[in-house]
Chains A and B, each alone.
Chain A
Amino acid sequence: MRRIGIDVGGTNTDAVLIEDGKVTGAVKAPTTEDVTSGILDALKRLGATGLLQGKKIDAVMIGTTHFINAVVQRKHLSKVAALRLGMPSGASLPPFCDWPGDLATLVRGGVWMVEGGHEYDGRPFMPLDREAVTNAAREMKAKGLKAVAISSVFSPLDPSHEREAAEIVAAENPGAIITCSSDLGRIGLLERENAGLLNAALADLARDTIAAFDKAIRDSKIDAPLFITQNDGTVAEAHQAMKLPVYSFASGATNSMRGAAYLSGLDDAMVADVGGTTTDIGQLKNGFPREANSVVQVGGVRTLFRMPDLMSFGLGGGSHVALDPVKIGPLSVGYRLLTDGIAFGGGQLTTTDVAVAAGILPLGDKAKVAHLDKDTVAKVFDEAKRMVEVTVDMMKTEAGDVPLLAVGGGAFLIPDTLEGVSRVVRVEHGDCANAVGAAIAQVSGECDQIFRDMTRNDALDAAAAVASDRAVAAGADRSTLKTIETEDMPIAYLPGNSLRVRVRVVGDVASG
């Protein structure tokens, strides 16, 4: 197996070549405004190593923050037609009702609410009003709306109304790009619908961006299928990822954690990814980041879908340092580190300066930080240690010491011994762990449903079967499937021993 992994970060675009499980090449190029020239540049640099010469590449996996940036910066978003099936419930809280005003104004193309949806136990809530859906589809067409988001009450349990409505809209409105909320989300209509609306708003951008990625690869004379990495540390084939851009929102941090697991061989550990401004801490379980089971805000919009459970705090290689009393961050000099840091002739004391004074980093001019005595240096490192310890402890789900993988450019800030940590592990190529994570990504499937009148084991098995089928549909090789996450929660007030079960499985990309 020979794969190229690319991570398009805020500052750098990293590319690695992995051959037979080993990193044989790793390069960095500056990220560009249009994203693709940075990718082209990185691929050119990788090609310049001679490593790609005459070799067949099996796959290229790209992780990008492009889609989440579009939401945060309110750029390149399409107008969306929102169709909700569930009247007469929730009529006073229509789609977009909890969006920030500026974003709603930009994205809201029209709202249609019609009868339909299901009950928690699978009974229909109201029959689907097909005529109203048809009329809505015609109005969308008249308004020139091409991006459509459909949501339905309890669609994670029964997506049939969303599917049927999608068929009607597609028939009336050929060329419409349709997002069904059941393809994205979990229980929680407003949050799932929000994820669908964001997804629809990004559909045009995703199509153009991924097509440009594809072209960059072809232009680099690489003949290999393209995959895009997802929030949960897995990949989707390019044509599938195009339909679900919100699934690629948080792939950077996830790829980092996956890469760290791969490079270290540890599947169960904490990971601290120390960048220039912040440290992200997450927990690996079976080699994958644990997921947040709660609302995640994206650009001010509440959503609920697969995202890694991460805690981010202001400790990085460029963090401002105050000495009296000792305080680190949250401000950072960011990419101006090599001009603004004291060791580099600047005027802002940073964590990097302290590390230079301590003799840890062979950078800059050590004489410029000679005024930082041993005691001061120790105090700053103690503060960094305390910050990491508290967050590691908050990320744990049970008592006991765990290993900690320290990756990223600022990993020097993590001391070798920490309370609650059995050992600190550092790995070669740890500074491109994210590109490595992209290169080794697998395909996943998930199930989140309520099961009634079943034993717990039967419910878990039923959920695993649904998740497995979805993974295979997404391109996984069935013989390699493995369950990586199982969670069940009894539900109050529902009859019949209702149990909500969430299962996630992963497998290798099926060849051919």
Chain B
Amino acid sequence: MTDLRELSIDDIESLSVGAWILGTGGGGSSYLGLLNMRALYAEGYRVSLMQPADLADDDWVAAVSNMGAPLVGQERLTDSRTIARAVDLMERHTGYRFRGIMALEIGGGNSIQPLMAAAHLGRPVIDADMMGRAYPEAQMTSVAVGDLKPYPLSTVDCRGLESVVEKVPTWKWMERVSRKICVEYGSIASTCKAPRTGREVKDWGIHGTTTKAIEIGHAVREAQRRHEDPIAAILSVEPGKVLYRGKVMDVERRATEGFLRGRTRFDGIDEWKSTSMELAFQNEWIVAWQDGEPIAMSPDLICVLDSVTGEAVGTETIRYGQRVTVIALPCPPVFMTPKGLQHVGPRAFNYDIEFKSVFA
């Protein structure tokens, strides 16, 4: 008997806060996704969570995400039905019937996409994703590290445009081709990634990440409610580490090759009083230097949090004067392997630094 847990709307509210933290500065806002889920729950829809271990080896699982410019998403509001259509198109194309739906990335707004599809299609959400956070590119996933098949991929937009990328030689090609389609659609598309078997999800999925995001979000919301320290609350549910506490002194941003890149400089307070920190980002936080020495880097998760509320501060919204606490959370083991580091280590982001984990 499969063990399904029905998610409450409170779980989903927590998921949205926790996913923003796991977004490590990127991943986009989950606000519109959350509004959609509130509306769906008010209409009586419900979503259940299924553990990867409960999948049969030959089940098929849909992995979904929204792709594109967050700014476009602010105008062409996320519609819960669009992501369900991406899954539906993939079923029509492959002839599979998906057992469940999972997130490509648990960081930010994409954590809610599988829930919207699941509500409309009446399937469970699988408690797993392929990043354990947010990353900017298609090859930065556990399934790419595992050299699993990168195709086919379906993309739809709300007007009814539908495309399937039938075959590509590599994950990098998939990134390039799908992004071109997305731009033609108006720089926003809902996508269903290459279907995965139950076996593949069990072997290569990053398990328990929906639950993890809910727990982190719940800890923050409870601490806020009780006027307690939300950072301490996060560290009570996650084996993370405080890297720095300080104030934003400078932010430098530039858009190159479609990414938001830049650096942020902090001045320390408390025990970090006379030290400085610099954080480099490419949509997400990638490397942290303390007094010029790299002390944390991808794939470890670097999360910048508002020191008072505990909520995540994004690379698009961070600004001078904010009081922040920088914490590191451990990364999924799959990315710590030599192959994993090729995909998401510092060199994958053009930093010539040898990876050293905060938790080593």
Are A492 and B321 in contact, CB atoms less than 8 angstroms apart?
Answer: no
CB closest chain-B residue, reference A186:
B74
CB-CB contacts below 8 Å: A244-258 with B: none
User: Smallest CB–CB gap between A428 and chain B, Å?
Assistant: 31
Are A120 and B69 in contact, CB atoms less than 8 angstroms apart?
Answer: yes
A361 on interface, CB distance cutoff 8 Å: no
Are B76 and A491 in contact, CB atoms less than 8 angstroms apart?
Answer: no
CB closest chain-B residue, reference A396:
B321
User: Smallest CB–CB gap between B182 and chain A, Å?
Assistant: 8
CB-CB contacts below 8 Å: B32-82 with A: 32, 35-36, 39, 68-72, 74-81
Are B76 and A490 in contact, CB atoms less than 8 angstroms apart?
Answer: no
B283 on interface, CB distance cutoff 8 Å: yes
Q: How long is the Cα–Cα vector from A399 to B266 in the complex, in angstroms?
A: 11
Known contacts A97-B35, A120-B186, A493-B69: A92-B79 contact under CB 8 Å: yes
Contact residues in A for B138 (Cβ distance below 8 Å): none
Are A93 and B39 in contact, CB atoms less than 8 angstroms apart?
Answer: yes
A187 on interface, CB distance cutoff 8 Å: yes
CB closest chain-B residue, reference A394:
B321
Q: Of the 9-residue stretches A3-11, A54-62, A82-90, A226-234, which lies at the interface with chain B? A: A82-90
Contact residues in B for A498 (Cβ distance below 8 Å): 255
Interface residues as binary, B142-161 with A (CB distance below 8 Å gives 1, 0 otherwise) = 00000000000000001110
Are B35 and A90 in contact, CB atoms less than 8 angstroms apart?
Answer: no
User: Smallest CB–CB gap between B42 and chain A, Å?
Assistant: 10
CB closest chain-A residue, reference B160:
A88
CB closest chain-A residue, reference B319:
A397
B323 on interface, CB distance cutoff 8 Å: yes
User: Smallest CB–CB gap between B198 and chain A, Å?
Assistant: 30
Are A190 and B71 in contact, CB atoms less than 8 angstroms apart?
Answer: no
CB closest chain-A residue, reference B262:
A490
CB closest chain-B residue, reference A450:
B71
CB-CB contacts below 8 Å: A160-191 with B: 187-190
Interface of A is mostly: loop
B186 touches which of A119, A394, A398, A500 (Cβ 8 Å): A119
Q: How long is the Cα–Cα vector from A121 to B254 in the complex, in angstroms?
A: 20
A347 on interface, CB distance cutoff 8 Å: no
Find the residue from A98, A492, A495 having the highest chain B CB count within 10 A: A492
User: Smallest CB–CB gap between B161 and chain A, Å?
Assistant: 11
Q: How long is the Cα–Cα vector from A349 to B65 in the complex, in angstroms?
A: 57
Interface of B is mostly: mixed
Are B69 and A90 in contact, CB atoms less than 8 angstroms apart?
Answer: no
Are B76 and A492 in contact, CB atoms less than 8 angstroms apart?
Answer: no
Known contacts A93-B39, A188-B74: A492-B79 contact under CB 8 Å: no
Are B75 and A188 in contact, CB atoms less than 8 angstroms apart?
Answer: yes
Q: How long is the Cα–Cα vector from A126 to B158 in the complex, in angstroms?
A: 11
Q: How long is the Cα–Cα vector from A385 to B258 in the complex, in angstroms?
A: 45
Find the residue from A89, A98, A126, A497 having the highest chain B CB count within 10 A: A89
CB closest chain-B residue, reference A156:
B75
Q: How long is the Cα–Cα vector from A89 to B85 in the complex, in angstroms?
A: 13
CB-CB contacts below 8 Å: A113-132 with B: 117, 119-120, 123, 125-126
A89 touches which of B36, B79, B259, B322 (Cβ 8 Å): B79
Contact residues in B for A489 (Cβ distance below 8 Å): 253
User: Smallest CB–CB gap between A268 and chain B, Å?
Assistant: 16
Q: How long is the Cα–Cα vector from A190 to B32 in the complex, in angstroms?
A: 9
CB-CB contacts below 8 Å: B249-272 with A: 249-250, 253-255, 258-260
Are B78 and A494 in contact, CB atoms less than 8 angstroms apart?
Answer: no
Contact residues in B for A492 (Cβ distance below 8 Å): 69-70, 255, 258-260, 283, 316
Q: A189-B75, A493-B68 are in contact. List 14 more A-B contacts (CB 8 A).
A: A90-B76, A91-B79, A92-B77, A92-B80, A120-B69, A153-B75, A187-B71, A396-B321, A397-B319, A398-B320, A490-B254, A492-B69, A492-B70, A493-B258
Chain B positions near chain A (C-beta within 8 angstroms): 32, 35-36, 39, 68-72, 74-81, 158-160, 183, 186-187, 247, 249-250, 253-255, 258-260, 283, 316-317, 319-323
9 contacts between A and B (CB under 8 A): A91-B79, A92-B77, A93-B79, A120-B75, A189-B74, A294-B317, A394-B321, A490-B254, A493-B258
